[in-house]
Amino acid sequence: MKSIYLSIVVFFIACLSGISQNKELLYNFNEVPQSLLLNPGTSTSFKWYAGVPVLSGVSFQAGVTGITSNDLFAVDGVDFNTKFLDKVVYGMDSKDELSGTYQIEILNVGFRGRKNPNNFYSFGIYNEGDAIGYYFEDYALLAFEGNTNNIDKRFDLSDLKTRGEVVNVYHFGINKKVSRQLDLGFRAKVYSSILNFSSTDNSGYFVTTEGDENLLQATLVADLKINTSGIFELKDAIDNDESIADIITKRALFGGDLGLGFDLGFTYKLDRQTYITGSILDIGFISHTNDLRTYSLKGKATSEGINVILPDDLGSGSDEWRELVDDLESLVPYEETEERYVTFRPTKLYASIGHDFGDEIEPRQDCNCTTKPGGGYVDNIYKNSVGGQLYVINRPRGPQAALTGFYQHRFGNIMSLKATYTVDKYSFANVGLGGSLQAGPVNMYLMADNLFGYSNLANTNYASVLFGLNIISWGKK
Amino acid sequence: MVLQMKLLKKLIPIFILVLASCSDEQDFSQAKDLEVTTDLSGPILSVEASEDVLNAGVFATQEVNFDGFQNENFSDRVLSGVINFQLNNTTSKQLDVTVDFLNDGGAVIDTKFMTIDEAPPEQIVLDSIVYDDSNLEILKNISSIALSVQNNSGTTSVSSLDDPKFTFQSSGSFIIEVLE
For residue A7, is pLDDT > 50? no
Cα A264 to Cα A28: distance, rounded to the nearest angstrom: 14
Terminal Cα-to-Cα distance of chain B (whole angstroms): 64
* C-alpha to C-alpha distances, B44 to A209, A304, B49, nearest whole angstrom: 14, 7, 17
Q: What is the pLDDT of residue A401?
A: 92
Nearest to A450 by CA among A409, A416, A422: A422
Of B26, B32, B179, Cβ closest to residue A74: B26
Nearest to A293 by CA among A226, A237, A193: A226
3-class state of residue B159 by DSSP: coil
Domain segments of chain A: what residues? 2-412+425-473
Q: What is the pLDDT of residue B126?
A: 96
Q: What is the pLDDT of residues A61-112, one digit of tens each?
A: 878 888 888 888 988 889 999 999 999 999 999 988 888 889 999 999 999 9
Q: Is B68 part of the contact surface with chain A (CB cutoff 8 Å)?
A: yes
Q: What is the pLDDT of residue B11?
A: 59
| Residues from chain A contacting residue B22 (CB–CB below 8 Å) | 454-457
Q: What is the pLDDT of residue A83?
A: 92
pLDDT category of residue A144 using cuts at 50, 70 and 90: very high
| Residues from chain B contacting residue A310 (CB–CB below 8 Å) | 47-50, 53, 60, 62
For residue B4, is pLDDT > 60? no
Task: Give me the domains of chain B, ranges plus CATH numbers.
Answer: 35-179 (2.60.120.1540)
| Residues from chain A contacting residue B82 (CB–CB below 8 Å) | none
Cα B74 to Cα B71: distance, rounded to the nearest angstrom: 5
Cα B1 to Cα A414: distance, rounded to the nearest angstrom: 8
Q: How far is A74 from chain B (nearest CA, A)?
A: 5
| Residues from chain A contacting residue B50 (CB–CB below 8 Å) | 310-311
Give pTM, 2 decimals: 0.82
Mean pLDDT within A16-42: 82
With an 8 Å Cβ cutoff, are A448 and B15 in contact? yes
With an 8 Å Cβ cutoff, are A314 and B53 in contact? yes
pLDDT category of residue A426 using cuts at 50, 70 and 90: confident
Mean pLDDT within A420-438: 89
Of B26, B49, B180, Cβ closest to residue A73: B26
For residue A313, is pLDDT > 80? no
B106: left (phi over 0), alpha (psi -120 to 50) or beta: left
pLDDT category of residue A185 using cuts at 50, 70 and 90: very high
Q: Is B56 part of the contact surface with chain A (CB cutoff 8 Å)?
A: yes
Q: For A4, what's the count of Cα atoms within 13 Å in the CB-facing half-sphere?
A: 10
Q: What is the pLDDT of residues A367-396, one digit of tens each?
A: 544 444 334 445 678 999 999 999 999 887
Q: What is the pLDDT of residue A341?
A: 94
B109 burial level (CB within 10 Å; 0-12, 13-18, 19+) = middle
Cα A249 to Cα A105: distance, rounded to the nearest angstrom: 15
| Mean pLDDT, chain B, integer | 87
Of B41, B44, B178, Cβ closest to residue A147: B41
3-class state of residue B170 by DSSP: strand
Instruction: Find the DSSP H helices in chain B.
Output: 2-19, 51-55, 72-75, 136-140
Q: How many CB atoms lie within 10 A of CB A318?
A: 11
Query: What ipTM describes this predicted complex?
Result: 0.86
Check if the beta carbon of residue A33 is closer than 8 Å to that of residue A50. no
With an 8 Å Cβ cutoff, are A414 and B49 in contact? no
Cα A68 to Cα B102: distance, rounded to the nearest angstrom: 51
Whether the upstream peptide bond of residue B121 has omega within 30° of 0, thus cis, is yes
Which helix (H) or strand (E) segment is B144 a member of?
Answer: strand B144-151
3-class state of residue B27 by DSSP: coil
Mean pLDDT within A312-340: 86
Closest chain B residue to A141, measured at CA: B38
Q: How far is A114 from chain B (nearest CA, A)?
A: 33
What is the 3 state secondary structure string of A105-168?
A: EEEEEEEECCCCCCEEEEEEEEEEEEEEEECCHHHHHHHHCCCCCCCCCCEEHHHCCEEEEEEE
Nearest to A203 by CA among A141, A330, A296: A296
With an 8 Å Cβ cutoff, are A308 and B28 in contact? no
Q: Is B173 part of the contact surface with chain A (CB cutoff 8 Å)?
A: yes
Mutation site for A-interface testing, chosen from B85, B169, B173, B177 by largest number of A Cβ within 10 Å? B169
For residue A337, is pLDDT > 50? yes
Q: What is the pLDDT of residue A378?
A: 55
Cα B100 to Cα B61: distance, rounded to the nearest angstrom: 10
Q: What is the pLDDT of residue A211?
A: 94
Look at A270-279, A363-372, A466-475 and tell me which has the smallest mean pLDDT: A363-372
| Mean pLDDT, chain A, integer | 87
Q: What is the pLDDT of residues A227-258, one digit of tens each?
A: 999 999 888 888 888 888 888 888 888 888 99
Q: How many CB atoms lie within 10 A of CB A309?
A: 16
| Residues from chain A contacting residue B65 (CB–CB below 8 Å) | 319-322
